[in-house]
């Protein structure tokens, strides 16, 4: 078994490279966020480990090199300064599996996807207390698995936003759930006299510093949700250019819409601010595969990595299900596998 090389930022800060060889590293992967029934990895990795092993083998067979996993805060914290040791051990097992399978992990943390999994104590914390608990979360994760070359990066949070004014009535989670899941979170409930950008920078700096106390090597990023073309890089309050001192590369989530591929590329361009850009979530959710391929091709001007989705059902099984939705998904997975080599994966 060939040992994975660490992934690093190049000396000029413009590319992702492999540490020993210096070869370019192009993330081409899958979000492994939930299964076909909507269950999160933490819901079944304890009792159905063989299933997880099979999924990793299937994703590897489809030609990807990165798997993005999503960890919920409530599954890894039992208090603001105490970790869930059982789930930490499972994460260590998952990292070993990634090493054995030859896959890198994009570890996205602090999820609150299932509202029922969010502890009351966590929701009741004030801003500074919550940020400190989040810092403890990341230090705990970094101590446990940061030594492994299979850990490609830490994504601080999926789609964080800074509210305008007060959001106490709304709470930490944004909007209505999508498929029973909350994907967007506020990092504060009170803007106060601060600018939104100031809050975003302070939060990233706080978590970055906490990680670097225990892990000085693993790359750090955050998964950003863009706005419309005129507010692409400011809608969330997280301005990419402000985050360069703390982030090794920029992650953005883009789902191109039918007849709006050029608009999606325009949005992407706002995130090219002097660091590598990885499209950390993308899928033909709102367009056909032809337009989606056009988006991928056009995105190469700005992006250096692409991560789509795998929901735990192999192509062979999707074909046996014999319904339209399964057939479309099977075709998409075949397309993603076919496109991989042309996007420069090592």
We report the CATH number of the domain holding residue 303 as 3.20.20.80
Domain presence at residue 2: no
Instruction: Report yes or no: 102 and 4 within 8 Å, Cβ to Cβ.
Output: yes
Domain presence at residue 94: yes
Per-residue pLDDT of the chain (346 residues; tens, 9 = 90+): 568 999 999 999 999 999 999 999 999 999 999 998 999 999 999 999 999 999 999 999 999 999 999 999 999 999 999 999 999 999 999 999 999 999 999 999 999 999 999 999 999 999 999 999 999 999 999 999 999 999 999 999 999 999 999 999 999 999 999 999 999 999 999 999 999 999 999 999 999 999 999 999 999 999 999 998 888 778 999 999 999 999 999 999 999 999 999 999 999 999 999 999 999 999 999 999 999 999 999 999 999 999 999 999 999 999 999 899 999 999 999 999 999 999 965 4
For the chain, the domain total comes to 1
Q: Under 8 Å CB-to-CB from 60, ≥6 apart: which residues?
A: 101, 102, 103
Domain presence at residue 81: yes
Give the global pTM: 0.97
Residue 197's domain spans which residues?
Answer: 7-343
Domain presence at residue 1: no
Count of Cβ atoms closer than 10 Å to residue 269 Cβ: 16
Domain presence at residue 66: yes
């Amino acid at each position: 078994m060939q040992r994975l090389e660490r992934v690093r930022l190049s000396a000029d800060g413009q590319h992702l490279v492999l540490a020993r060889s210096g070869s370019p590293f192009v993330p081409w992967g899958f979000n492994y966020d939930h299964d076909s029934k909507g269950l999160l990895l933490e819901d079944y990795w304890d009792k159905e480990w063989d299933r997880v092993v099979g999924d990793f083998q299937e994703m590897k067979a489809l030609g990807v090199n990165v798997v993005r996993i999503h960890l919920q805060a409530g599954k890894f914290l039992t208090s603001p300064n105490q970790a869930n040791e059982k789930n930490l051990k499972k994460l260590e097992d998952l990292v070993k599996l990634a090493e054995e399978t030859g896959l890198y992990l994009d570890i996205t943390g602090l999820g609150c996807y299932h509202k029922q999994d969010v502890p009351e104590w966590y929701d009741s914390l004030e801003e500074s207390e919550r940020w400190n608990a989040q810092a403890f979360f990341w230090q705990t994760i970094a101590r446990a698995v940061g030594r492994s070359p299979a850990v490609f990066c830490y994504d601080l949070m999926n789609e964080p936003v800074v509210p305008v004014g007060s959001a106490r009535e709304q709470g930490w989670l944004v909007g209505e759930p999508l498929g029973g899941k909350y994907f967007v979170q506020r990092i504060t409930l009170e803007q106060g006299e601060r600018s939104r950008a100031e809050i975003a920078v302070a939060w990233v700096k706080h978590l970055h510093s906490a990680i670097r106390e225990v892990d000085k090597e693993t790359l750090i990023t955050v998964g950003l949700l863009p706005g419309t073309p005129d507010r692409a890089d400011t809608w969330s309050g997280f301005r990419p250019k402000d985050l360069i001192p703390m982030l090794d590369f920029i992650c953005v989530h883009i789902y191109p819409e039918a007849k709006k591929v050029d608009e999606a590329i325009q949005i992407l361009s706002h995130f090219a601010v002097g660091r590598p850009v990885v499209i950390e979530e993308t899928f033909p959710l709102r367009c056909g595969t032809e337009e989606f391929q056009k988006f991928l091709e056009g995105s190469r001007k700005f992006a250096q990595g692409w991560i789509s989705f795998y929901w735990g059902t192999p192509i062979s099984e999707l074909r046996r299900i014999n319904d339209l939705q399964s057939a479309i998904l099977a075709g998409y997975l075949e397309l993603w596998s076919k496109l991989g080599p042309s996007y420069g994966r090592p």
